[in-house]
Amino acid sequence: MSDTPGGPGSSGQGPDDNNPFKGTPFEQIFAQMGGLGGAGGGMPDLGALMAQMQSFFAPHDGPVNWETVTDLARRTAAQEPDPTVSAAQSSAVADAVRLADHWLDTTTEFPSGVATTAAWSRAEWIVETIDVWKVLVEPIAGSATTALGQAMPEEMRQLAGPLIAMLGKASGAMVANQVGSGLGALAGDVLSASDIGLPLGPTGKAALLPTNVAAFAAELPDVTPDDVLLYLALREAAHQRLFAGVPWLRDHLISAVSEYGAGMDFDTSGMEAKLRDIDVSNPSAIQDAMAGGLFDPEPSAAQKAALEKLEVTLALVEGWVDEVVSQATAERMPAAAKIQETVRRRRAAGGPAEQTFATLVGLELRPRRLRDASVLWGSLRTRQGAEARDGVWMSPHLLPTAADLDDPLGFREDSVAPGELSEDEFDAGLRDLLDGP
């Protein structure tokens, strides 16, 4: 998904002195809601505008109307077939997760984190994950709403009169449009509750989307659908083990994303120019601008550092999952390597995780980091065992850094396995690590 708004900036509108909002963010807000009357883009029909924007302006808490987001996401997802999950599909998912959990018992020190299983339709994925999306998106939505208000010239604020009070909700509606469309598109690609690396679903619920899994399996004609389902169940169950076995990790990831968004800076002059350049007579140009990331965030130096830290943590999660799943399938599933490579290519080509973070949260992930993290975990296990590998998750202070991912084979190269230390030596070393300099 491109980060560059679509449209060359050529307007094609004729001059119209009767529209006091022409060339301002308000003009584009009204246009996007269908409020500008006629091909000439004249004065908005305020009566029609109010009727068409009723859902956006319904009372709601926060900068985004999440009922509108959910409805738009479901309508977007419904543009492709989204059949109700059958009893047979639910049973197949439950059986696959149960077997996956059994295999993982031999490859990691963490116990099962699966309390229940589920097979979701695309619409169900949206409903089941929307609460976490609220936490992730609202901080950046609030920043974007503030920035859009600042992009409006002062003289237009005076002309707008009573309508200026609606600016916050109108700009929030633009965010709702982008988020709803983005989640609806993502619902057509995502394979499981944890597919993008974040704990989006309810705690302890391992869920897969059979319709999307079947589409993914079709890309692997030489692999049986049962093997594909089991492999993806292994990945989902591994995510659940890690999030359950590392109590601080869930909140650490969610808060890191939301804090990154809350501090985002926006180029308000650039935003105003882009809003002005959208051809309101061309609906696809508006859609392209929204899909491409209208608000163009500009990370500060502090946020660039926060991005690196978040990127490393996400890579470590995905790398650990790759590592334990590879161990679980090494002698049981000959097709596992082929499926793993397809999953990696999907990431490298801009899969669901990359699209989600780039478009909805403003983060750019580098798939190469995921491969480096997998190598790091595998190397540590080979030298010191699974207990040492999993023990690194004891505290965020123990996690590998970006520099460690640059040299994954060298991580803790000179250290010894915990079993080779006395209890006092281990406790002293752990205190030093946790206390810091």
Per-residue pLDDT of 415-426, as tens digits, reads: 655 555 556 655
In a domain, 281, yes or no: yes
| Whether residue 431 has pLDDT greater than 90 | no
**Among the ranges given (94-108, 168-182, 331-345), the one the predictor scored with the smallest mean pLDDT:** 168-182
Rounded to whole angstroms, how far apart are CA atoms 228 and 225?
A: 5
Taking every pair of Cα atoms in the chain, the longest distance, rounded to a whole number of angstroms, is 83
Q: What pLDDT does 286 receive?
A: 46
CB 319 within 8 A of CB 204: no
Q: What pLDDT does 384 receive?
A: 94
| Whether residue 206 has pLDDT greater than 90 | yes
DSSP annotation string for 149-171:
HHHS-HHHHHHHGGGGGGHHHHH
Tell whether 70 and 145 lie within a shared domain.
Answer: yes
From 436, 257, 240, 252, select the one nearest 357 (Cα to Cα). 257
Which tokens belong to 259? 């804090």
Tell whether 93 and 152 lie within a shared domain.
Answer: yes
| Whether residue 430 has pLDDT greater than 90 | no
| Whether residue 199 has pLDDT greater than 60 | yes
pLDDT band at 85 (very low <50, low <70, confident <90, very high): very high
User: Domain containing 162: what range?
Assistant: 62-265+300-406
In a domain, 415, yes or no: no
Query: Could you say which DSSP state residue 40 is in?
Result: T
Q: 20-66: per-residue pLDDT in tens?
A: 444 433 444 444 444 433 334 455 555 544 544 555 555 556 678 88
Q: What pLDDT does 5 receive?
A: 36
Share of the chain above pLDDT 90, in %: 44
Tell whether 272 and 251 lie within a shared domain.
Answer: no
Tell whether 67 and 186 lie within a shared domain.
Answer: yes
Rounded to whole angstroms, how far apart are CA atoms 35 and 29?
A: 8
pLDDT band at 197 (very low <50, low <70, confident <90, very high): confident
Tell whether 100 and 247 lie within a shared domain.
Answer: yes
In a domain, 174, yes or no: yes
| Whether residue 388 has pLDDT greater than 90 | yes
Tell whether 163 and 276 lie within a shared domain.
Answer: no
**Among the ranges given (202-211, 280-289, 361-370), the one the predictor scored with the smallest mean pLDDT:** 280-289
Q: What pLDDT does 386 receive?
A: 96
| Whether residue 160 has pLDDT greater than 90 | no
| Whether residue 183 has pLDDT greater than 50 | yes
In a domain, 369, yes or no: yes
pLDDT band at 146 (very low <50, low <70, confident <90, very high): low
Rounded to whole angstroms, how far apart are CA atoms 348 and 351?
A: 7
Which tokens belong to 425? 């030596």
pLDDT band at 74 (very low <50, low <70, confident <90, very high): very high
pTM listed for this prediction: 0.76
Average pLDDT over the chain, rounded to whole? Answer: 77
Q: What pLDDT does 27 receive?
A: 44
pLDDT band at 268 (very low <50, low <70, confident <90, very high): low
- Phi and psi, residue 253, nearest 5°: -70, -45
Q: What pLDDT does 151 receive?
A: 59
pLDDT band at 8 (very low <50, low <70, confident <90, very high): very low
Tell whether 253 and 272 lie within a shared domain.
Answer: no
Tell whether 205 and 99 lie within a shared domain.
Answer: yes
Tell whether 236 and 282 lie within a shared domain.
Answer: no
From 416, 390, 384, select the one nearest 324 (Cα to Cα). 390
CB 204 within 8 A of CB 244: yes
Type and span of the H or E element at 207: strand 205-208
CB 186 within 8 A of CB 356: yes
| Whether residue 87 has pLDDT greater than 90 | yes
Q: What pLDDT does 280 receive?
A: 45
- Structurally, the chain folds into a number of domains equal to 2
In a domain, 329, yes or no: yes
In a domain, 397, yes or no: yes
**Among the ranges given (18-27, 67-76, 427-436), the one the predictor scored with the smallest mean pLDDT:** 18-27
Who wins on pLDDT, 350 or 203? 203
In a domain, 220, yes or no: yes
CA distances for 210 relative to 206, 238, 393, angstroms = 13, 18, 31
Tell whether 112 and 159 lie within a shared domain.
Answer: yes
Who wins on pLDDT, 263 or 322? 322
Q: What pLDDT does 342 receive?
A: 93
In a domain, 385, yes or no: yes
| Whether residue 159 has pLDDT greater than 90 | no
CB 125 within 8 A of CB 211: no
Q: What pLDDT does 258 receive?
A: 74
| Whether residue 115 has pLDDT greater than 70 | yes
* Long-range interactions of 131-134: CB distance < 8 A, separation 24+: 132/198, 132/199, 132/200, 132/201, 132/254, 133/69, 133/179, 133/183, 133/200, 133/360, 134/62, 134/64, 134/66
Tell whether 238 and 286 lie within a shared domain.
Answer: no
Who wins on pLDDT, 293 or 112? 112
Tell whether 274 and 307 lie within a shared domain.
Answer: no
